[in-house]
Amino acid sequence: MIGAIDIGGTKIAVGQVDDQGRVISRLESPTDAAGGYGRALDRIAKMLRETARSNGGDMFGIGIGCTGPVYPLTGEIGVVDFLPGWQGENPVADLTQMFQTRVAIENDADAAALGETSISSGAGKRSLIYVTVGTGIGGGIILDGKLYRGVDYSHPEIGHHVIDPTGAHCACGSRGCWEVFARGPAMEEWIAENAPSGYLHRNGLTAKRICELAEQGDGLAQECVDREAFYLGLGLANLVTLFTPDTIVLGGSVMGSAQLFWDRIKTTIATSCGYVPHEKTELRLASRGPDAALLGAAQVWYHRFSKNGGGRDEQ
């Protein structure tokens, strides 16, 4: 068994994953980031013990997927908006000491990418890009079967490549990032700016609700969905042009309504990728549903420590 931990901005999931890639047991807890790292660590340790106990008590290792920038070599958490005050904390060192086993950590999108390469439809793919679309846009990149790391082993922020320098300001300090146009809240913002004064659905809109309205025939919601699909396609087209990957996998809350975006995404990719064989890049949805994050976290451990895993930092 591998102990698997998914640390998000709102919840922490912990489970045990067997060597067949099955989540055998799992527990969840609110992150309560404001309550401090120490308390969250205690909850994680308790959940690890409880999930392991239900399966005989043995853990061969622990893998962690964590939101925001992390430092895989040192195990430290970087500056994460959703985890205020956690910068510099080291769950790898702390859990290694507590459980006397090897521990590895990666950004959660990198963990998800590793998880996708472990399933049958991802096996054997030399290059795969995982893209998650929700409150933001993130991703993980697998090249030649290994997790790609940039300079200083940094994690590529694919949601912050600029697609329109005259666009709105982004939290990263730039303007017109892909995330500004295509994240879930961008749909809500567009409706707020473009809805007529008498629009009946103005209040309390979410990306999910906008998609529901579009399916019900609401014209403004349909226009919003078309715009979202176009910008999703534009960013994906850039990834296809730059990396010509075997596969792009789409996940995240917005992709729960993928059927509304799919045709427009594919059309935009086709019209934007004139010099690469875009039709040979497979575009598909994430495969593992609610267990995906924990399966990805387990793969973080295998990627770091198994004979068939490893990455640039281990060479």
Q: How many Cβ atoms sit within 10 Å of the Cβ of residue 134?
A: 16
pTM of the predicted model as reported, rounded to 2 decimal places: 0.85
β-strand partners of 162: 177
Each residue's pLDDT tens digit, 149-208: 888 888 899 999 999 999 999 988 999 999 999 999 999 999 999 999 889 898 889 999
Closest CA to 113 of 160, 82, 137, 146: 146
Per-residue tens of pLDDT for the chain, all 315 residues? 999 999 988 899 999 999 888 999 999 999 999 999 999 999 999 999 999 998 777 899 999 999 888 999 999 999 888 899 999 999 999 999 999 999 999 999 999 999 888 765 556 678 999 999 988 899 999 999 889 988 888 889 999 999 999 999 998 899 999 999 999 999 999 999 999 988 989 888 999 999 999 999 999 999 999 999 999 999 999 999 999 999 999 998 899 999 999 999 999 999 999 999 999 999 999 876 778 889 999 999 999 998 655 443 343
- Which amino acid is it at 15? G
Rounded Cα distance, 222 and 233, in Å: 16
